[in-house]
Amino acid sequence: MTDAFGGHGGIAQYNRDFLTALSGIEEVSDIVVLPRLAAEKNFRVPEKITQLKPVFHPVIYGFRALWLALTRGPFDLIFCGHVYMSFLAGIVSGITGKPYWLQIYGIEAWQRQKRLNVYFSERASQILSISRFSRRKFLSWATLDPERVKILPATADMSRFVPGAKSKLLLQRWGLEGCQVILTVSRLDSSERYKGHSLIIKTMPSLIKKFKKLRYVISGNGNDKKCLEQLASQLGVEKEVIFLGEVDEALKPELYRLADVFVMPSKKEGFGIVYLEAMASGIPVIAGNKDGSVDPLRDGENGRLVNPDDPREIVAAIEDQLSGAKNETIATSKFAFCNFKNHLLRILKLNFPERFACNEKLYA
Amino acid sequence: MCGITGIFSYHYASTSVKREELRLIRDQMAARGPDGKGEWFSQDGRVGLGHRRLAIIDLSDAGAQPMSNEDGSVVLVYNGEIYNYRELRAELEGQGVKFFSHSDTEVILRLYETMGDSLCSKLRGMFAFGLWDAKKNALLLARGPCGIKPLYYANDGWTFRFASQVKALLKSPAVSKDPEPAGVVGFFLLGSVPEPFTLYQEIRALPAGSFMWVDSCGPAQTQKYFNFNEAYWAGAERYRTTPVENIKEVIWQALRESVQAHLTADVPVGLFLSSGIDSTLLLALAATLSTEPMRTITLAFDEYRDTSQDEAPLAAKTAAHYGAQHSTYRLTRNEFNDDLPKVFEAMDQPTIDGINTYFISKAAKARDLKVALSGIGGDELLGGYSSFSIIPKWRKIAFIPALVPFSGEIFRGLFDAFLGPVGIFHPKFSGLLKFGGTTSGAYFLKRGLYMPWELKKFLSRDIFENGLERLNLTRRLKSSLVPSPKSDFARVSILESQWYLRNQLLRDTDWASMAHSLEVRTPYVDATLFKQLAPLFALMKPRENKAWITDSFKADLPAEVLQRKKTGFTVPMPVWLHERTNAKPLSSRQSQLWARTWARSVGQEMAV
C-alpha cells in the first residue's frame, strides 16, 4: 500500500483503520505491511501487524514485495492498496497462487487505467470500494462481475470526535471570539482545486453583509494557499478568511467544535472522511452532490447536499445553517468502527468460507 | 401477469427504504397490473416489496401480493404463471402443508418453505420473483428457465433494487443513469440489447434460468439452475433406437401436454393466429383441449388486402376449421401513426421489433381477452428459420479461408473497395471471413444488424470502443455453445433460443403485450417441452423435424396451411415509417437496409 501508520491524509487513515480492524479479527494471525511512504517515524501499530520500512522507488518496491511474498509467508491473502499497483499485486498473486484484494478510494480509480492495470484489476478476487461513487466509476472501465465490488466505507473515531463546547483557548488564539465560523479542513493543493475553497471565499462578501461577525476558517496547507490568500484580499475579505495552516492532529476534535458549519463543496471526493469527523463532532455539514461525498452524508440524511457548480445554492445552504439552530444529534453511528469491522469480517467470510465459518461474532 | 419491484437497503450504511420511491417504481408498471396494487415494508424499514396485479388465477383478494406466510417470515412478489401449480399443491398438501388461497403465488411461497431455493426447477411456467426471507435476512431473486418474464436489478453497493422493467427502475432518483456502452453497442449489433446488459451501467438483467441471493454483503453470484445446452447434450441416445411411429407419438404428446398446461387459467384464453403452421398447430391442439371454443385473432393490413401477403383469409379458414370464434384486426396507416408515440413509451429497451405484437395485443385487449397463446418459439424449437440450413453452409464455405491470418481483414478491405459501392450486397457480407468460420460467428452474420466496424460511423469513439470491449460479443456467443451440442441443428437452435428469442422476441412480447395488460403465453417456449423434445431434435437434420411435425398432424391440419410456402411475416410498417418523413417511395435498397434505418430511429427515440 501507499501508506498507513505514520502517513498523512485520507488514504493513510483508511488503511490504518482497515489494518486495525483486520488485526482485531481472531482468525487473522499475521499482517505484514509494506508501505511506499511513512511521513512520521514514531508511530504505534496494533498487535499482529508488522509495518516494514517504506520503499518509495517503484521498481525496488516491486522486487521487495515479491521477495517478501516468497520468503516471509506463506500468506493467505495479498492486499493491494492502490489501483496503480494492481499490476504488481496480480503478478505476486499469480506467482504465489494466493488471491488478491484491491482497494479503491477515489479519483485514482475513476479513470480508465493502463492496459496491464486494467487486466490485473479485473482479476482481483475481491474489490473493496470506499464509496458508491468510486465503485460506479471503477465499473465504468473495469469489465467484471459488478457483484465482486463491495463497499467498505471509511470510519471515524467516534470516541475522539464528539460534540462539545467551543474551546475558549482556541477561539482566543485564532481571534474567533463571538464569531460565527465556517470551516473547511483539507489540503490546499493546486491539483485539488475541486475542493471548492475559492467558491466559498467568493461567497464571503455577500455572506458578511448578512452575518456581520462571520469567519471562514481554512485548516490545511499546500501550494495553493498563496493563491487563495490573494483571492481573499482581492475580494476584501482577508480579515474574514483565516488560514490556520496545518493543525496538529491532537487539536482536530477541538478544531471541528469551533465551527458552526463545515463546508466543502467538492467535486472529486472519493468519500471525504473530514465530513464524517465534522458530523461526529455535532457540526452541520454542507457537501457537493456529485461525488463520493453523498456517502458520509447518507444522501442528505446526515447533512446538506448542494450542487457544487451552483454558488447560489451553496450560499443559500450556508445561510440556512448559520440562521438555524445547531443540531448536535447527527446520526453518524452508522459509520462507527465496529460496523466497519463487522462488515470486513462478513466479506472475509464470503471469500474464505471455511476459515471463518465458526466466527458468528459481532464486534462491539 | 404482473409488475413486481423491491428495495433492499442491505448495507449497514444505507438509508431506510423510502415508501415514495417504491411506489414510483411500482406505479410506472401500472399497465402490467391494472387489477390491484400492493406493498409491504419490513418493520426495520430495510426492505420494501411492491406489486401490480393482473389477476388470472384465483381472482379473489386471497391471491393479492406481496403475499406472506403466517408468521411473516417469508414474503413474496411474483410475476408469471405456474402451469403445474395444481400438481405441486396436491404434492405439498400430501405432505401436510396448509393453504389459504387457490393461487399459484402461494404454491411458490409454500414450496420455498419446504425446499428453499431449489424450488425453481420444480416450477413449470414463466416466472420472475423476489422473495424476502426474514430468518435468513436475505432476498432471493429468481427468473424462469426460458427468460419469458423479465427481471432487472440495480445495485449501487448499498441498496439493491429490482423491477420487471428497466423504465420502472429509472423512475427511482437513486438509480444511476450512466450509460452502459455494451448495451448501446449490443443494440446496434443485434437489434436488441443482449442480457445481462441494459442501456444503463447500473441496471442489469438477472439471466434466464438462474437465481441470486442478496444479503447484508449485497448480491452473491448468480446460480444457474437450468441449462439448455445440457438438455441437448444429454439424453439424445435414448431416442436413437426408438421406432419412428413412437417418435411421432412422443412429439405429439409433448406438444399436447404443453398446450394443455398453457390453457390453465380462471379467465378465457385466446390465441394469436397467423397463416403459418406454428400457430395453426397450437389451435389444432387447443381446440381439442379447451372446453370452450377458442377465440382467435389475426393481425392484417389493408395494404395487403387481396394479395398473397394477406394472412387474414387463410387464418379465417383455419379458425373456422377448428370452430374458433375468430376476428381479424385490420391495422391502418393512420392508427399506426397515431399509436407510434405510445409504442415508444411502452418499449422498455430499444428494439427493432415488437410493433406487431403491440397491435395484435391491442386487438386482443379490445376483445376483452386477458390471456392469449402465441406461436413464438416454434421456429427456434422446430427449426423453422432459414438460419438452420444457412449457418452450417456458411461455416463450411468460410471455415478454411478464415484460418488464413488476416483473411477477414483482407476480405473486408476488398469488399469495401469493390463490392460494397456496387450496392447489391448487404454490407454485412464484408464480415463473411471475419465471422463466417464458426457457428457462433456465422450466426452473428445472419442475425446481426451492423458489423462492429460500421458502428464508429455514428457512435462516439468512447461508446464504440468501450462498448465493443465490454460486450465482447464473439466470446459471449461462443460461450453460449458451452457445452457444445453435438449437431448443427442443436447449435443453431441454442443460439436462436438464447439470443434472438430471449433478447428480442420474448422481451418484445413482454412489453408490447403488457402495454395492453394482456398476458401472452408461449407453449413452444417451455422448459419441460424442451427437455422432452430437444434430445430428439438434436439427432435430426435441418427442417427434418418440422416435416415430422407436419406429417404427424397431416390428417388434422388444413391442406392450404401445409402447402403455404413460408414467406416470413411481412408488414407494411417499413413503408409507413419511411413515408412519414420522406416524399419519395421506399427504394429496394432502402428496403433491404430498412432494419438499420429503423434501429437508428429507435435509437434516437430512446436516447441511445
Task: For an interface test with A, give the residue of B155, B202, B204, B217 to mutate (most A CBs within 10 A).
Answer: B217
Task: For an interface test with A, give the residue of B18, B136, B155, B158 to mutate (most A CBs within 10 A).
Answer: B158
**Contact assignment for B470 to A143 by CB distance below 8 Å:** yes
SS3 B309: coil
Q: How far apart are the CA of A312 and the nearest CA of chain B, in angstroms?
A: 23
Where does the pLDDT of residue A75 fall: very low under 50, low under 70, confident under 90, or very high at 90 and above? very high
pLDDT of residue B369: 93
Side-chain half-sphere exposure of A50, counting CA atoms within 13 A: 7
Domain ranges of chain A: 10-155+336-363, 168-331
- Contact yes or no for B251/B536 (Cβ under 8 A): yes
Task: For an interface test with B, give the residue of A112, A130, A155, A299 to mutate (most B CBs within 10 A).
Answer: A299
Average pLDDT over residues A145-166: 94
B-chain CB neighbours of A298 within 8 Å are 13-15
For chain A, what is the mean pLDDT?
A: 93
Where does B189-343 show beta strands of DSSP type E? 203-205, 210-215, 218-219, 223-224, 269-272, 295-301, 325-331
- pLDDT, tens digit, for every residue of B464-486? 999 999 999 999 999 999 888 87
Where does B22-179 show beta strands of DSSP type E? 36-41, 47-53, 67-68, 74-82, 125-133, 138-143, 152-155, 159-163
B-chain CB neighbours of A350 within 8 Å are 217, 220
**Contact assignment for A136 to B201 by CB distance below 8 Å:** yes
CA distance A338 to A332: 12
For residue B424, how many other CB atoms are within 10 A of its CB? 9
Average pLDDT over residues A309-314: 94
Task: For an interface test with A, give the residue of B8, B9, B10, B15 to mutate (most A CBs within 10 A).
Answer: B15
Where does the pLDDT of residue A192 fall: very low under 50, low under 70, confident under 90, or very high at 90 and above? confident
Sign of CA dihedral B132, B134, B138, B140: negative
Q: How far apart are the CA of B12 and the nearest CA of chain A, in angstroms?
A: 7
pLDDT of residue A49: 95
Average pLDDT over residues A276-302: 95
- C-alpha grid cell, residue B39: 406493498
Partner residue opposite B218 with nearest CB, options A147, A301, A339 = A147
Q: Which residues of A touch B (CB under 8 A)?
A: 129, 131-132, 135-136, 139-141, 143, 145-147, 149-151, 153, 295, 298-299, 301, 334-335, 339, 342-343, 346-347, 350
Contacts with A, B 11-40, CB within 8 Å = 11-15
**Contact assignment for A298 to B15 by CB distance below 8 Å:** yes
The verdict on B220 touching A (C-beta cutoff 8 Å) is yes
Partner residue opposite A146 with nearest CB, options B155, B466, B472 = B155
pLDDT of residue B567: 55
Contacts with A, B 192-211, CB within 8 Å = 201-202, 204
pLDDT of residue A249: 87
A-chain CB neighbours of B469 within 8 Å are 143
**Contact assignment for B156 to A135 by CB distance below 8 Å:** yes
B-chain CB neighbours of A149 within 8 Å are 157
pLDDT of residue B576: 83
DSSP letter (8 states) at residue B78 = E
pLDDT of residue A215: 96
Interface size, chain A vs chain B, as Cβ–Cβ contacts under 8 Å: 61
- Which residues is A267 bridged to in the sheet? none
- Contact yes or no for B246/B272 (Cβ under 8 A): no
Where does the pLDDT of residue A315 fall: very low under 50, low under 70, confident under 90, or very high at 90 and above? very high
Task: For an interface test with A, give the residue of B12, B14, B201 to mutate (most A CBs within 10 A).
Answer: B12
SS3 A187: coil
| Fold for the domain defined by A168-331 | Rossmann fold (3.40.50)
pLDDT of residue B586: 76
CA distance B332 to A99: 63
A-chain CB neighbours of B218 within 8 Å are 147, 150-151
B-chain CB neighbours of A132 within 8 Å are 156-158
Q: How far apart are the CA of B534 and the nearest CA of chain A, in angstroms?
A: 31
Partner residue opposite B217 with nearest CB, options A136, A335, A347 = A347
CA distance B140 to B73: 13
Chosen CATH of A10-155+336-363 out of 3.50.7.10, 3.30.470.20, 3.40.50.2000, 3.40.50.300: 3.40.50.2000
> Which has more pLDDT, A327 or B271?
B271
**Contact assignment for A151 to B220 by CB distance below 8 Å:** no
Partner residue opposite B216 with nearest CB, options A136, A146, A346 = A346
B-chain CB neighbours of A339 within 8 Å are 12-13
The verdict on B309 touching A (C-beta cutoff 8 Å) is no
Task: For an interface test with A, give the residue of B7, B8, B10, B11 to mutate (most A CBs within 10 A).
Answer: B11
pLDDT < 70 positions in chain B: 1, 233-241, 244, 541-547, 550, 552-555, 565-570, 608
Q: Which of A62, A50, A56 is nearest to A95 (CA)?
A: A62
Partner residue opposite B217 with nearest CB, options A129, A140, A350 = A350
- Contact yes or no for B5/B26 (Cβ under 8 A): yes
Q: How far apart are the CA of B228 and the nearest CA of chain A, in angstroms?
A: 22
- C-alpha grid cell, residue A43: 508511530
- Contact yes or no for A312/A149 (Cβ under 8 A): no
Q: In the predicted model, is pLDDT for residue A177 greater than 90?
A: yes
Q: How far apart are the CA of B19 and the nearest CA of chain A, in angstroms?
A: 15
Domain A10-155+336-363 and domain A168-331, same fold? Reply is yes
- pLDDT, tens digit, for every residue of B240-285? 667 767 777 888 889 999 999 999 888 889 999 988 888 999 999 9
CA distance A53 to A67: 14
A-chain CB neighbours of B221 within 8 Å are 145, 147
Task: For an interface test with B, give the residue of A145, A147, A152, A302 to mutate (most B CBs within 10 A).
Answer: A147
- Contact yes or no for B84/B124 (Cβ under 8 A): yes
For residue A162, how many other CB atoms are within 10 A of its CB? 14
Residue of B nearest to A348 (CA): B217
SS3 B295: strand
- Which residues is B67 bridged to in the sheet? B76
A-chain CB neighbours of B466 within 8 Å are 141
Q: In the predicted model, is pLDDT for residue A327 greater than 60?
A: no
Q: How far apart are the CA of A155 and the nearest CA of chain B, in angstroms?
A: 11
Partner residue opposite A140 with nearest CB, options B14, B201, B221 = B201
Residue of A nearest to B181 (CA): A140
A-chain CB neighbours of B176 within 8 Å are 136
Contacts with A, B 127-166, CB within 8 Å = 155-158
A-chain CB neighbours of B204 within 8 Å are 146
| DSSP H helical ranges for chain A | 9-23, 58-71, 86-96, 115-121, 132-139, 168-173, 197-210, 225-234, 252-258, 273-280, 311-323, 337-351
